[in-house]
Amino acid sequence: MIGDSIIADPKLAPEGNRKIDWVAQHAPVMNNIFEKHLSDGALRGRRVAMTIHLEAKTAYLAVLLSEAGAEVTVSGSNPLSTQDDVCAALAERGVRVFASHDPSDEDFEGYLIRTIETAPEIVIDDGAELVSRLLIHRPDLLDNVLGASEETTTGILKLKAMTAEGALPFPVLAANDAKMKHLFDNRYGTGHSAIVSLLANTNLFLSGKAVVVMGFGWVGRGLARYADGMGARVIVCEPDPVKLLEAYSEGYEVMNSMQAAEVGDVFLTGTGNLKVLRTEHFERMKDGALLANAGHYDHEFDLAGLKEMAAAEREVRRNVTEYELPDGRRLHVLARGRLVNIAAGDGHPVEIMDLTFSVQALAAHYLAKNAASMPGGLQPIPDEIDELVARAKLAALGVEPEHLTEEQISYQKSWR
Ligand SMILES: NC(=O)c1ccc[n+]([C@@H]2O[C@H](COP(=O)([O-])OP(=O)(O)OC[C@H]3O[C@@H](n4cnc5c(N)ncnc54)[C@H](O)[C@@H]3O)[C@@H](O)[C@H]2O)c1
């Protein structure tokens, strides 16, 4: 214990500090936003609660909010996506942490409940874990909440349902839907890091393998792109006919999941849906097939169904579980079906999360200043936040966007 934090091992702090310092060196946009916006006093004394995959990039966001004067409490948004050394470093730096890498279901729930019990004024959420628990378990604390922001597609879906029911008394900014978030993080960040994690954990070669990508949303597009870049034969399965045609037009093979189950060497899910791969798929898969999930929850594969089918289950490598079926075929599941890029790797590249967490930092800052005059329910991130983050990133790259002439501007506005 450091302060009232609950973490696995405070002695791990030196390694966690090195990881956070590395992020700080590679996050020019967050650093710029801290100097120009966060340090204006708007967040001073505010109680901020965060739950996002708790690794070094998230930790750096928590550190900056804390240095901006906020009283920050963090918990992990998903078992396995928390790094214990990072938690120790954060606790040492004065952030309250309730998290560990592989908690029991009961402990995981307990961490989230403790986090909401700090009576947050601003919530930075992932998967709507904190907001939903505030609504269900502690409605007495809702009056404290100025506003929240949401990190991922899965959380946005839940918040839309809450908004439709009129259940959200405070504004929630859809950080996931900011252009500077999903176009980069969901697509390039997840695609890049999921493939890196798949390769690092299996030590196998992707060239020539048939990689089946389930879902051609933002995450699926990234998975397909980076699998293609590693020389794989990419097959896309997607229920939306327009998106499936987009995948076809990108040059990928397209088919339904029953056909793909028979030919795939690797299966990557990124749908946000449940039981995308289930017993009827497992029955058709080849010996040695690899299954990895990049969607938010661990229910994109029907793991209970697979366990029931299996004659034997064993760990064959770190983060790789082998299920041997009665006919001798072996299916290999990475990271117990949890987000492969974060639960079995370091997550998105730093430069990508520099953009995402700049959006989140500015969202918290915006809520501190404006939430009192905003209506309840899910709201878009203001365009000026997207613009500010994009310009700060370009400035860090030394690149100027094109300037339009007066003649071009008036031409674009005329119709005669
Ligand atoms: N691993 C990460 O770091 C990371 C990062 C960002 C988002 N996510 C998560 O990834 C998931 C997808 O996010 P997104 O932004 O791509 O969402 P999205 O809505 O853009 O895309 C999801 C796609 O999956 C398709 N789909 C739904 N059910 C399917 C099925 N049974 N088979 C095939 N396709 C199906 C949908 O039609 C849609 O096109 C969400 O759970 C999100 O929270 C994870």
Is any ligand 1 atom within 6 A of the Cβ of residue 272?
A: yes
**Average of pLDDT values for 35-40?**
96
In the CATH scheme, what is the code of domain 188-343? 3.40.50.720
User: E-strand spans in 335-415?
Assistant: 377-380
- CA–centroid distance, residue 269 to ligand 1 (Å): 8
What residue segments make up the domains of the chain, in order of their start?
A: 10-181+349-396, 188-343
What is residue 3's predicted lDDT score, i.e. its pLDDT? 81
Q: Which of 26, 34, 27 is nearest to 365 (CA)?
A: 34
Q: Which fold has domain 10-181+349-396?
A: Rossmann fold (3.40.50)
> How far is it, in rounded angstroms, from Cα 371 to Cα 377?
11
pLDDT of residue 77: 87
pLDDT digits (tens, 9 = 90+) for 360-377: 999 999 999 999 999 999
As a whole-number percent, the residues of the chain with pLDDT over 70 amount to 100
Give the model confidence (pLDDT) of 172-199 as tens digits. 999 999 999 999 999 999 999 999 999 9
> 261: Cβ below 6 Å to ligand 1?
no
How far away, in angstroms, is 334 Cα from ligand 1 center? 18
Task: Indicate the pTM of the whole model.
Answer: 0.96
| 150, 192, 240, 296, best to mutate for ligand 1 pocket (most atoms within 8 Å of CB) | 296
**Strand pairing of 320-324 and 312-317?**
antiparallel
Rounded average pLDDT over 121-144: 97
For residue 344, give Cα distances in angstroms to 33, 111, 195, 327: 30, 21, 11, 29
* Farthest-apart Cα atoms in the chain, separation: 74
Mutate to test the pocket of ligand 1, among 80, 159, 186, 338 (most ligand atoms within 8 A of CB): 186
Confidence of residue 232 (pLDDT cuts 50, 70, 90): very high
So what's the pLDDT on residue 79?
A: 86
Q: What are phi and psi of 338, to 5 degrees?
A: -85, 170
Mutate-to-test residue for ligand 1 from 271, 281, 298, 339, highest number of ligand atoms within 8 A of CB: 271
Distance from the alpha carbon of residue 215 to the mean position of ligand 1, in angstroms: 6
State residue 333's pLDDT score: 98
Q: How confident is the model at residue 276 (pLDDT cuts 50, 70, 90)?
A: very high
Answer yes or no: is the C-beta of 99 below 6 A from any ligand 1 atom: no
Decide: 72 and 360 in contact? Cβ < 8 Å: no
Mean pLDDT over 336-349 rounds to 96
Q: Is the C-beta atom of 295 inside 6 A of ligand 1?
A: yes
Do 10-181+349-396 and 188-343 have matching folds?
Answer: yes
Q: Is 202 in the pocket of ligand 1 (CB under 6 A)?
A: no
Position 113 pLDDT exceeds 90: yes
The mean of the pLDDT values for the chain is 97
Is 179:355 a contact under the CB 8 Å cutoff? no
pLDDT at 78: 85
Q: How many Cβ atoms from other residues are within 10 Å of residue 293's Cβ?
A: 30
Region 368-397: mean pLDDT is 97
Question: Quick check: CB of 345 below 6 Å from ligand 1?
Answer: no
Contact predicate 156/296, CB 8 Å: no
HSE-up of residue 19 (Cα within 13 Å, Cβ side): 23
Sorted by sequence, the CB contacts under 8 Å of residue 188 that are 6+ apart come out as 222, 225, 352
The predicted-structure confidence for 241-273, as pLDDT tens digits, reads as follows 999 999 999 999 999 999 999 999 999 999 999
291-318 pLDDT tens trace: 999 999 999 999 999 999 999 999 999 9
238 CB within 6 A, ligand 1: yes
Tell me the β-bridge partners of 266. Answer: 211, 290
Ligand 1 geometric centre to CA of 273 (Å): 7
Q: Which two three-digit tokens encode residue 268? A: 């990557």
